[in-house]
Amino acid sequence: MLKRCKFIVHYVSKFNVFEQVRYASQILPQFSAEKYNVKRKNFSNVQAADVSYFQSILGNDRVLTDRDEVLPFNIDWIRNCRGQSQVVLKPKTTQEVSEILAYCNKKRLAVCPQGGNTGLVGGSVPVYDEIVINLMLMDKIITLDEISGALVCEAGCVLENLDNYVRGHNLIMPLDLGAKGSCQIGGNVSTNAGGLRLLRYGNLHGSVLGLEAVKADGTVIDCLRSLKKDNTGYHLKHLFIGSEGTLGIVTKVAIHCPVLPKAATLGFFGIKNFENILELYKSAKSSLGEILSAFEMADNLAITQTVKNLNLPNPISDYPFYALVETHGSNEVHDGEKLSNFLNKEMESGLIMDGTVTSDPAKMQTIWNLRESIAASSLVGGYVFKYDVSIPQKHYYDIVPMLKQRLGDKASAVFGYGHIGDGNIHINISVPQYTKEVVSLIEPFIFEEVSKLKGSISAEHGIGFRKPQFIHYSKEPSALGLMRDLKQLMDPNGILNPYKVLPETN
């Protein structure tokens, strides 16, 4: 029988878990340039006079040069990539960003824009000695229009802080992700982050109303409008959404915030096989309609290893697959009726084997915490290869068993989870240690299979440093050519986030 949530709420601060996991190992990752055999491009080296110039704009405190202080800005969240930057700059205003970029462009100094450094494709850290420009001090909320829901803020605002703020005004942020406690809205926009409720609230190309960005030569591009409709020429904001810091630095964002739902409910269900996950999704769409706000899936290993590695509670017992179904609506009675009809039907049909439903915020949080912690749990012990692909739903899970078979005992775990409503599966492969032999078994095999299935090699995390050489599996030569033309136009000296997104031409 379906039971109400009855496990003890065991709230674990996500941030603490992540930080504990990240710094559990004191071994520094290998330099990306060596690990991936990258040749340094022809940029200038940072000189003492450059540091003095930055200090004259920012003051000494906002120019970091101490090795220990700079180190965390050189290492990415999964501790796979490590850059060799010697300077981190922390601007507080758009004017400062503009002056820094104008100077770097003139001097041919390469830069790496950085937000919360939670990116998963190595785009947020330097490869060689690019100067890190971290936006963390640009964290002011500028305006909130409670009628339209338009929030205007600086790019360094942490997503969770923005969500807490707008909730106080009966609104929510249109995106939510496990890294919300650290990622910044500028980073979210620059990666076109998807997350847990894209199914309901759409992607950032729809939610971002306007933005301000600084081009490589220091020109400030002001597209900071809060209008829903504005067809005055080219929609330039879209160039910056998802361009991963290669076309400009986003400094301000105007974003549409949906209304805080009056009623929210979460179900966590045990499912017999992947086919039944798909059937349940179809049924949820038709029974829950407009109140469906998230439909996530995880296989058995994704959940059991998260429970084990991070000592988190699983509210139900062991099942081959799990589905997490959330509703956001405006009428508790109406929504409750819809949800219970759906549940009764699907328990009877056998699609749901067991589960728990709750609208208690603390219990919902505990279930979400289990789902959102899968990423952090994979960092415990060994090395993890992470893939983030989208595939037409009927073939969504095909690659997981394929990879299991291909890797055999070379992998300690291969598992899949993700945003099935968006056709986006995350495939994690844990190995005792990174070796070239394992890499050659996985890449480009995985991208070839995704391409055969007419999928995308990156559904939401982006191309960053790790995938430019595979972008052709998802982008035609003509489209790649136009991307190069845009890069050349907007950043002719290539100083913005080099070695990222665009593949080398040779």
Binding site for ligand MLT (CB under 6 A): 120, 178, 374-375, 386, 388, 418, 426
Q: Lay out the site mask for ligand FAD across 14-53 (x = CB under 6 A, - = otherwise).
A: ----------------------------------------
CB atoms within 10 A of CB 344: 12
Query: What is the total residue count of the chain?
Result: 506
Alpha carbons 491 and 430: distance in angstroms, whole number: 38
Specify the DSSP element, H or E, that contains 137. Answer: none
Cβ-contact 366, 10 below 8 angstroms:
yes
Out of ligand FAD, ligand MLT, none, which partner does residue 498 contact, by CB within 5 to 8 A per kind?
none
Out of ligand FAD, ligand MLT, none, which partner does residue 352 contact, by CB within 5 to 8 A per kind?
none
Out of ligand MLT, ligand FAD, none, which partner does residue 386 contact, by CB within 5 to 8 A per kind?
ligand MLT
In angstroms, give the least distance from the CB of 122 to ligand FAD.
8
Cβ-contact 80, 22 below 8 angstroms:
no
Of 151, 194, 154, 191, residue with least CA distance to 169: 151
Q: Lay out the site mask for ligand FAD across 373-412 (x = CB under 6 A, - = otherwise).
A: --xx------------------------------------
Alpha carbons 124 and 132: distance in angstroms, whole number: 9
Instruction: Give the nearer residue to ligand FAD in terms of CB position, either 343 or 367.
Output: 367
Torsion angle of C-alpha atoms 485, 460, 38, 22, degrees rounded to 10: 150
Q: Lay out the site mask for ligand FAD across 221-260 (x = CB under 6 A, - = otherwise).
A: -----------------------xx---xx----------
In angstroms, give the least distance from the CB of 165 to ligand MLT.
24
Per DSSP, the residues of 162-202 read: HHHHHHTTTB--S---TTTTT-BHHHHHHHT---TTHHHH-
Question: Could you tell me if residue 73 is left (phi over 0), alpha (psi between -120 and 50 degrees) or otherwise beta?
Answer: alpha
The yes or no reply on residue 188 touching ligand FAD (CB under 6 A) is yes
In angstroms, give the least distance from the CB of 386 to ligand MLT.
6
Of 44, 5, 30, 14, residue with least CA distance to 494: 44
Q: Answer whether the bond into residue 401 is a cis peptide, omega within 30°.
A: no
DSSP letter at 456 equals B
The yes or no reply on residue 101 touching ligand FAD (CB under 6 A) is no
In angstroms, give the least distance from the CB of 275 to ligand MLT.
22
Instruction: Give the nearer residue to ligand MLT in terms of CB position, either 306 or 356.
Output: 306
How many residues in the shown chain lie near ligand FAD by CB under 6 A?
A: 37
Structure tokens at 127: 């490869």
Alpha carbons 254 and 351: distance in angstroms, whole number: 42
Cβ-contact 211, 249 below 8 angstroms:
no
Mark the segment that binds ligand FAD (CB under 6 A) among 36-44, 190-198, 268-276, 339-347. Answer: 190-198
In angstroms, give the least distance from the CB of 54 to ligand FAD.
18
Pairing of strands 354-358, 413-419: unpaired
Instruction: Give the nearer residue to ligand FAD in terms of CB position, either 172 or 352.
Output: 172
Q: Lay out the site mask for ligand FAD across 112-141 (x = CB under 6 A, - = otherwise).
A: xxxxxxxxx--xx----------x------
Specify the DSSP element, H or E, that contains 427. Answer: strand 424-431
Out of ligand FAD, ligand MLT, none, which partner does residue 74 contact, by CB within 5 to 8 A per kind?
none
Out of ligand FAD, ligand MLT, none, which partner does residue 184 contact, by CB within 5 to 8 A per kind?
ligand FAD
In angstroms, give the least distance from the CB of 388 to ligand MLT.
6
Q: Lay out the site mask for ligand FAD across 428-467 (x = CB under 6 A, - = otherwise).
A: --------------------------------xx--x---
Cβ-contact 422, 194 below 8 angstroms:
yes
DSSP letter at 314 equals -
Structure tokens at 133: 């420009």
Instruction: Give the nearer residue to ligand FAD in terms of CB position, either 255 or 441.
Output: 255
CB atoms within 10 A of CB 234: 8
In angstroms, give the least distance from the CB of 227 to ligand FAD.
22
What is the contact surface with ligand FAD in residues (CB under 6 A)? Answer: 77, 112-120, 123-124, 135, 155, 177-179, 183-184, 186-188, 190-191, 193-195, 244-245, 249-250, 375-376, 460-461, 464, 497
